[in-house]
Structure 1
Amino acid sequence: MSTEKKNLEPGLPPLLPETKTVMDTLMAADLIKKALQLAVDQDDLCLQEQIAITETPSSPFGEEIRGKDFVERFTKLGLLDVHMDEVGNVIGRRPGVGPEPRTKLIISAHLDTVFAKDTNFKVRQEGNRFYAPSIGDDSRGLAGLLQVIRMFQELNIQTLGDIIFVATVGEEGEGDLRGVKHLFRDPNVDVDAFMSLDWCDPSEAIVGATGSLRYRVSFDGPGGHSYLGFGQPSAIHALMRTGKVLCDLEVPKDPKTTYTVGVVKGGTTVNSIAAHASMDIDMRSTENASLLALRDKILPCFEKACEEENAHWGITDEANKVKVTVTPIGNRPAGQQPYESPVCQAIRAGLLALGLPLHMYASTSGDHNVSLSMGIPSLAMGAGGRNWKMHTLEEVYEHVDAYQGPQLAFLMACAMSGVNGVTKGFLKKRAR
């Protein structure tokens, strides 16, 4: 059976005429051709930066060392107003030269990893393959971000709109997107589009945001000896009573909606009535309304399980009852956008201009969730090369045609923001 990926572009609606005109004009300009060649010429430099970034430790809620490194890198590259904000995001601005009000585009990659602070991040090379935790996710994105900046700076390419470069914190897991949530804490934030460089393969476009709600559900009771205390309610039994509801629950296929109990803990010994048990549950959907409807079906079953466990043993004394505590541990909003969205138009036009296929056009979860849920055109994309075994200690990055990632991100930024003396952009100021 062939494993060749299908090019999805022919099955999508045609690009808007303005999109094609802008991209054709860019690709005919000598200045843009020089910038695209610069990405090829600096491919090894970008790789060496990727390795250095990988070997700079970063962990959940422990991004400060990488963050300080990026303050220095952004400053050396000549960005303006470079600073680390209150939560650890590193921000640098490249103002446009167009008339006010100018469009504002954020291009980002994330500083954090899923790995503990004592992880060995040393990179091992075998041919054109590199092995290390976070070598692709998201060290490649961060290196690609630096390369895009160089393409603008070294050739003094003046965009009409402003571009803000951000190295974010808290993208992974229990970081719960805290970096971008801080960036977009004001619903009237002056940002018109958002791009996240978040893995490697540039032919993969994530244009929808899968929302998620995560909870830690803790059951607590008096516990006791399994024989002498028989008749006391059990925290584990209460947790188990939720099983029928959770296992038999039906969810929509469209919009795709899912749930799973990913972690279960509880008890101390085989001959003890459990005083504590807990589960972590993950709920997801590409539509916020479906996600909230799923939440409203699931959450009541935990209290009901306690009531059933206490009633089974005839427990009426509040001090001896099993009780439940539901603690939110993750909240990622969902969002969708039409084909006409400027970021969707930009990535498709950029891939066509570079002669690359579109292998993925889908929804998943990442830094783009927050802005897309607010109606801001947003996507996540690859930054060049190929990678697999993400989120494992054996993560692999293959350095092949890696310059195409920065080329694509650069073209998208130029097409949306416009380039002085070349073409206007097709990104519009967002209504507020």
Structure 2
Amino acid sequence: MRKKWEIEDEYRKFCRNNKELALQTLRELTLTPTETGKEEQRIAYCVEWMKRQGMESVHTDELGNVIWEYRPEQEKKVLYTAHLDTVFSLEEPLEIKEDGMIWRCPGITDDTVNVVMLLMAAKYVHETEPELPCGLIFAADLGEEGLGNLCGVRALVDHYEENLCGMAAFDLYRDKMYPICIGSVRYRISAKTKGGHSFLNFGRKNAIAELAGLIGELYRFQTDAASHTTYNVGKIEGGTSVNTIAQDASMLFEFRSEDYRSLEACETYLEETIAARQSEEVQYSCELVGKRPCARETDPVQMARMTRCAQKTLKAADGEEPVCSEASTDCNIPLSRHIPAICVGFCRGGGAHTREEWLDAASVEDGMCAAAALVCRLPWMCCESRIVVRDGIEDQKEREEIRQLLELCDQDFVPPLSHRNSTSQTNWAETEEKTDGIAEYLENICSQHVVLWKEEGVVRAFMTWKDHFNCENLEAYPDSCYLTTLCVWPDYRGQGISEVMYAEAEKDIAAKFPGSRITLRTWSTNGAQEHILDKLGYGLVRRLKDDRGEGIDTVYFVKKEENDR
């Protein structure tokens, strides 16, 4: 089953049969010159390659992005990208030096091998025609490096934005993945003065010295300690000779941060600092030469699920789970527009942006397997409608799936669900396992209000609640709506699903019983749930010491109202 995250035989077979094609494609594409803004040769190669594989509808947009869509008639879509440009020029000598399975050549891993992974994943989808909840877009895009300013992915997101429910960029290396993006703002800042002879006109303003003074002020900017924000002068030029008071000077300057608010504060500081230094003797100009936006608020559950899906899929391919980190990639654009996105690399290598760049070609086959599996799995994380609300469970399929989930989660509860007879049981002194304990518990919750979380039509989590609930331990909150049971399939934990279930239950309660207080109970050693309750604004209202055994209290909570906070 998909929950185990294994790489199915169909992926393995495809990759074994196409390994030599992938390696040959890698050789040819690596030796095809490209640079940012001059990707034409690689554009032509990719279009012709995809047509040879039968993808006749491949096309380029006005910018030159190479695009092939799977089931373009679908309203919702997931976008996959890999960039065609490298940091090297068209004149860079290109030769693949093979030392066993270690291949060395400028640009081979950033991002050529990931373009090959994209092409092979598209070939897999084209040939197998998987049943998915949405359409897919495969795009070999332009302008990711340097001052390309992410022009390729900008054009793609501009065109498809209303339909996109997720994106993955194929970039960088196998050991890490990037659900967090680093934004940057880059400027060319110039200073101009009257200038003159260094001796005869001594005392006049010197553009180089004035620019140096500006740099000193910019480097005194106090960054926000809560975010990782940096600034840098990367290049300075100007002046005429050693005995000339410089009339002009310029520099390249950038800010970087993973927080858009910090980046905006940096921009404001720069504008104010330059404005304060303007005078008749010194004129400054500030040209924006590149801007990579930071992430804005995105669906945290979807981001967590996409991240976990990628980590588990790559681990299943070769045994190692990638570490989450942060980078500036194609993902900056969708994340800045509230579209969940992750950046993933599939092969091992190193030396990016150097002439010693290298690839472990032995990792290509496993990388292909992971890429093919991921493009078919991510849509289920992004596009499927998952929440179902019921007033009781009558459907036999749903009842059976809930029963399986109860059995799977049985020992996570204190005491286990199989030792109970109802969701409001209060006597824990003589609980013991019953042959039909789960069945009794199931019958009890199936008559309650239920929130279901489904994936591919299968119940993976649920929450139940009762209306008009009264008990002596909640006498201050009569006729409350009482949350009784929350179960999440183990492979789906840690992705924010529990918080979604609480939110859906609260919304359902507010609609059906407006003004009703929301209550629940748990046990004191259930730290994960208590953390969520604190985050969601629930307050402890009663504690029954050692009620469920020595050192295990029963604790009651109520959702706080505005005047309680």
Q: Within 5 Å, which residues of 2 pair with 1:239-318?
A: 239-307=211-279, 318=280
- Aligned equivalents of 2:54 and 2:169: distance in 1? 21
Q: Does 1:129 align with 2:89?
A: no
> In the alignment, what sits opposite 1:210?
182
Residue 109 of structure 2: SS of its match in structure 1?
coil
The residue that corresponds to 2:452 in the other structure is none
2:456 is aligned to 424
1:55 aligns with 31
The amino acid that maps onto 2:224 is: P
Counterparts in 2 of 1:53 and 1:373: CA distance versus 1, 3 Å: same
8 Å CA contact 2:79, 2:167 repeated in 1? yes
Q: Which amino acid aligns with 1:111?
A: L
Given the alignment of the two structures, is residue 332 of structure 1 paired with residue 332 of structure 2, yes or no? no
Given candidates 362, 368, 375, the residue that maps to 1:413 is 375
TM value normalised by structure 1: 0.82
Structure-1 separation of matches of 2:210 and 2:153: 37
1:246 deviates by: 2.4
Three-state SS of the structure 2 residue aligned to 1:140 is: helix
Partner of 2:91: 118
Q: Given the alignment, which residue of 387, 403, 406 partners 2:365?
A: 403
AA at the equivalent of 1:273 = I
Gaps of 5+ in 1: 1-20, 308-317, 427-432
Question: SS at the partner of 1:410?
Answer: helix
Q: Would you say the 8 A contact 2:31–2:95 is kept in 1?
A: yes
Match of 1:46 in 2: 22
Q: Tell me, in whole angstroms, the C-alpha distance in 2 between the residues paired with 1:294 and 1:233.
A: 27
2:198 alignment partner, one of 221, 226, 249: 226
What is the root-mean-square deviation in Å for CA atoms of aligned residues?
A: 2.4
- Is the 8 Å Cα contact of residues 6 and 317 (structure 2) preserved in structure 1? no
| Percent pairwise identity | 29
Where relative contact order (Cα < 8 A, 6+ residues apart) is larger, the structure is 1
**Which residue of structure 2 lines up, in the alignment, with residue 363 of structure 1?**
326
Equivalent pairs counted in the alignment come to 382
For residue 331 of structure 1, give the secondary structure of its aligned residue in structure 2.
Answer: strand
Question: Per the alignment, do residues 395 and 351 of structure 1 end up closer, same or farther by CA in structure 2, a change over 3 Å counting?
Answer: closer
Give CA deviations for 1:145-185 in whole Å, capped at 9, x if unaligned.
11212222344434342111100000001001000111122
Q: How does 1:145-160 map to 2 (within 5 A)?
A: 145-160=118-133
SS in 1 for 2:164: coil
TM-score (norm 2): 0.64
Q: Distance in 1 between matches of 2:187 and 2:16?
A: 46
Of 292-301 and 410-419, more deviation after overlay is shown by 410-419
Residues 187 and 38 of structure 1, relative CA distance in 2, 3 Å threshold: closer
Give CA deviations for 1:52-71 in whole Å, capped at 9, x if unaligned. Answer: 10111101210011101111
Give 1:344's aligned residue.
307
Q: Which deviations, in whole Å up to 9, do the C-alpha atoms of 1:96-145 show, x marking residues without a partner? A: 7xxx8553111111011111121112222122111111011111011111
Q: CA offsets, 1:212-258, max 9 Å, x none?
A: 10011011122211011223211111101113322322212432111
Q: Aligned pair 1:162/2:135, yes or no?
A: yes
Q: Which amino acid aligns with 1:113?
A: T
> How much does 1:186 deviate?
5.2
